[in-house]
A and B are shown apart, each in its own frame.
Chain A
Amino acid sequence: MIANSWSRHGPRVAALLVGAAALTILVTAPGMGGYLMTVVITAVLFAYLAQCWNIVGGYAGRFSFGHAAFFGVGAYTTGVLGQHGVNPWLGLLVGAAFAALLGAALAVVSFRFGVRGPYFALSTLALAETLRVVFTNWEFVGAARGVMVDFSPGSSLAAFQFDSRLPYLYLILGLAAAVTALVAALDRHRVGLYLRALREDETVAASLGVDCQRYATYASALSAALTAVGGAFYTQWLLFIEAPTVYGVEISVAMVIPVLLGGVGTVWGPLLGSLALAPIQEGARALFRDRPGADLVVYGIVIAVVIIYLPRGIMGLFTPRPKVDQPPVAPVTPPVPVGAAR
């Protein structure tokens, strides 16, 4: 059957597409112009972040709408520590640890109070917004002026600073590949199955021996830590951060959209989504160069159409599942006598 062979080969086709795209970027990168390379680095960074979100939003089914909180914590920790002479790699690790704690706390609190679905999304949004306001007004972290990272000329991997864009591109490609390998391993592992189980039904998962709170917390902490690594990369790449940007809703949204577009809770979905999204985004921007904001309208329409017609994302195209009628759950009540016809 065609459907069967598709569903078996779908992930492989997706992997092939993503691999081809990554290879194309690698090969053409040295000859890329500055603008194009900035676009590509941004696209790969958000593909990486989308994959980080996928761990908790896709696998564990906790639809976070405020992952900018973790991104910002990573960016700020690296930036502020850097101003005090701390090596950015160490700053990256400290930022990841802070974010992991924050992610774990969020998971524990939301589990304890049964905050799920839209309420969870809103509470994560509130967390990111709170941090945005706090950091905009907190003098120690530069308040509204933001954080400027000192640049010492010359490239150095140890100092996490390069005087050309190319090493940043290689670095973020490596990070995206690493997190994808991690998600692929998770997908096949017991813990990945546990996450999918608790996403579908926590009561059932628990009755089968899954400690839902523990695994949801692991997923949240891991996703947050990896997201913070993306934030640290952002700081070292742009050498300037400010709270309205790194804690902004735009960052949170940009992490979610590629996953919705590509396929939630799949290994390749976030990357396929990013791959499809970048041209749409750039195309709309180029098309409406003199109409600021119009590109976002187009972008919004595309996303709305995808969510309506492709609820399982692009991966849903690769792994079709024919619709079947749900068998009704019969409300059987009265005692049924022996030998009765029903």
Chain B
Amino acid sequence: MSAAVMRVDAVRKRFGGLVAVNDVSFTLGAGEVLGVVGPNGAGKSTLFDLVSGVRRPDAGTVHVGERDISGLPAHRVARVGLARTFQKLRPLAGLSVTDNVMVGAYCQTRRKARARSIAAECVEAVGLTHKANEDADRLSTGQRKRLEVARALATGPRILLLDEITAGVDPSGVPLLIELIHKLARMDLSIVVIEHRMRVILDVSHRLLAMHLGTVIAEGDPATVMRDPTVIERYLGRSYVDS
């Protein structure tokens, strides 16, 4: 965990009267897996939107390496080497799995044959090779999650934002996704993970960031954050500690 590959400084986003993300700052180290936890409405997905250029922050900056990417449109951010998945599943319907992934692969090359081989590698990395020619909207939820990862991976990122990749996946599919995150971490990617499954987040994260109502309420190594009284009160609940 040497130099920070990404630095987020006091980003803020307001929707009308609601401050969805309020002066959130964090850094992401090279090769680090940072877990983001917090109840629904904490601003986790909005934070991803601000970092990935889907929405413009009202204030604050995002640096990837030395480069200030705050306010860049999403397609430029993708080419800086920051890729994301979406919480709400969004396969490009009517396109095959390979075509879905090739869209991202064209970030790395303009040549079709090269894009195809990058796509094939990424599809294989997430274990979807047997579905490569299927229409994307015919995949199961777990497969769609993996397609999201393959697509993001194909853009050739240094930083990957994974938004609840195990949500809605049946328990038997979860170990596969945990293994996938470990695999991505071994590929020298720096990763930010939003998760509600504690099993997943504790298994993969090097560090945790807990959010509530748009602000960071705790940050540090996972065990410490999980014992933090504020985190227990605001997010985990008493029953979690008792279990």
Contacts and interface: CB of A to CB of B under 8 A. Distances in A.
A190 B95 contact: no
A200 B106 contact: no
B131 to A, nearest CB: 13
A321 B93 CA distance: 12
A337 B240 contact: yes
A265 B92 CA distance: 14
17 contacts: A188-B112, A189-B112, A190-B110, A190-B112, A193-B106, A200-B93, A203-B86, A204-B92, A206-B78, A207-B74, A207-B83, A207-B152, A208-B154, A211-B73, A211-B75, A335-B198, A338-B198
B7 interface: no
Given A197-B92, A197-B95, A204-B90, A209 B196 contact: no
A121 B52 CA distance: 31
* Nearest 4 interchain pairs by C-beta: A330-B168, A206-B74, A209-B78, A209-B107
A339 interface: yes
Contact of A329 (B79, B89, B99, B104): B89
Interface in A96-122: none
Nearest to A341: B171
Chain B: interface size category? 35 or more
Interface of B: 37, 39-40, 52-54, 73-75, 78-79, 83-84, 86, 88-90, 92-95, 99, 102-104, 106-107, 110, 112, 115, 135, 137-138, 140-141, 144, 151-152, 154-155, 164, 167-168, 171, 196-199, 202, 235-237, 240, 243
B243 to A, nearest CB: 5
Contacts of A333: 39-40, 196
Interface string A319-342: 001001011111011111111111
Contacts of A329: 88-89, 141, 168
B90 A321 contact: no
A194 interface: yes
A57 to B, nearest CB: 15
Given A201-B92, A210-B103, A335 B240 contact: yes
B172 to A, nearest CB: 12
Interface residues of A, number: 38
Given A200-B94, A327-B144, A329-B89, A205 B103 contact: yes
Given A208-B104, A332-B168, A193 B99 contact: yes
Nearest to A336: B197
B93 A335 contact: no
Contacts of B73: 206, 211
A209 B104 contact: yes
Task: Give the one of B106, B141, B171, B202 with max A CB within 10 A.
Answer: B106
A338 B199 contact: yes
A165 interface: no
B207 to A, nearest CB: 17
Residue among A188, A333, A334, A342 having the largest count of chain B Cβ atoms under 10 Å: A334
A29 B122 CA distance: 53
A265 B93 CA distance: 13
Contact of B199 (A189, A205, A327, A336): A336
A332 B164 contact: yes
B198 A337 contact: yes
A193 B103 contact: yes
Contacts of B75: 205-212
Q: Which of A196, A204, A321 has the most CB of B within 10 A?
A: A204
Given A207-B83, A207-B84, A193 B102 contact: yes
Nearest to A210: B75
Contacts of B140: 327
A139 to B, nearest CB: 45
A205 B53 CA distance: 12
